[in-house]
Amino acid sequence: MTHTATSEELAAMPLEQLVGCHECDLLMLKPVLQTGERADCPRCGFELFRHNHKVIKRSLALVIAALLLFIPACFFPIMQINVLGQTSLDTVWSGVLSLYEAGGVLQTIAVVVFLSSMVIPFLKLLIQFLVLLSISLDIGRSYGLFLYRTYHQMREWGMLEVYLMGILVSIVKLIDIAKPTLGIGLFCFVSLLLVQVWLEVTMEPHQIWDELAGGDAHASH
């Protein structure tokens, strides 16, 4: 639940005790939540935030799993294509190289694909790992604040789900002219995407900000 207050009461409150709705911009008192509870905007019903159980430990386990899946997802064969007796193994990395070697405008597209499907997703995971590690070990939280701000600025640029849709469309189109065989890289890629979604749901931003500021004693319990 959230608490409403008059304009005069809100003006007298410290900023740390206030929260604004991202959808309708309603300013209200920040509620104190227990584990498992969530706060909704009283005007539009938008979920402001929730208080997850053992958010640091669970998020750390998920980000480690995602990092372990990243290398096989990018460098293991996504599918094997057999055309007229010739077999080729395709990976995310080989797709980037093929675009770049084609020359012309495709080189620019290759750079964009490389950044959005490999570099930025890896940097996001690495930053999340370092932020969670700084909280768990209680070291360098000021650097953790800087890294977490950087993460939020770049989080929209990782487009693994778009790349996955492209892979699925390619498989469907190739069925009639070739014999595509799914590789272990595709299963790792899908698993990576699912783990990332789970991580985004688990790693509640307001708890991470509070932990980095040293104000949430329950996030890791």
Q: Nearest Cα to 100, choosing from 111, 92, 89?
A: 111
**Would you place residue 172 in the very low, low, confident or very high pLDDT band (cuts 50, 70, 90)?**
confident
More confident residue, 108 or 25: 108
Q: 127 near 150, Cβ under 8 Å? A: yes
Q: Which residues contact 69 (CB under 8 A, 6 or more apart)?
A: 188, 191, 192, 195
Q: What pLDDT sits at residue 5?
A: 54
Q: How far apart are CA 161 and CA 69, in angstroms?
A: 15
Q: 106 near 99, Cβ under 8 Å? A: yes
Q: What pLDDT sits at residue 64?
A: 96
Partnered with residue 215 across adjacent β-strands are none
Q: Which two tokens stand for residue 157?
A: 């640029």
Give per-residue pLDDT as tens, 79-95.
877 766 677 778 888 88
Exposure class string for 148-158: b at 16+ Cβ within 10 A, else e:
beebeeeeeeb
List the end-to-end C-alpha distance of the chain, in Å, as a whole number. Answer: 22
DSSP code at position 22: T
Q: Nearest Cα to 189, choosing from 169, 157, 167?
A: 167
Q: What pLDDT sits at residue 12?
A: 65
Q: What angle do CA 180, 184, 187 make, to 5 degrees?
A: 95
Exposure class string for 63-86: b at 16+ Cβ within 10 A, else e:
bebbbebbebbbebbbbebeeeee
Give per-residue pLDDT as tens, 44-90.
877 666 666 688 899 999 999 999 999 999 999 888 777 666 777 78
Q: pTM of the predicted model, to two decimals?
A: 0.76
Please determine, for residue 212, whether its predicted confidence score (pLDDT) is greater than 90.
no
Q: What pLDDT sits at residue 4?
A: 54
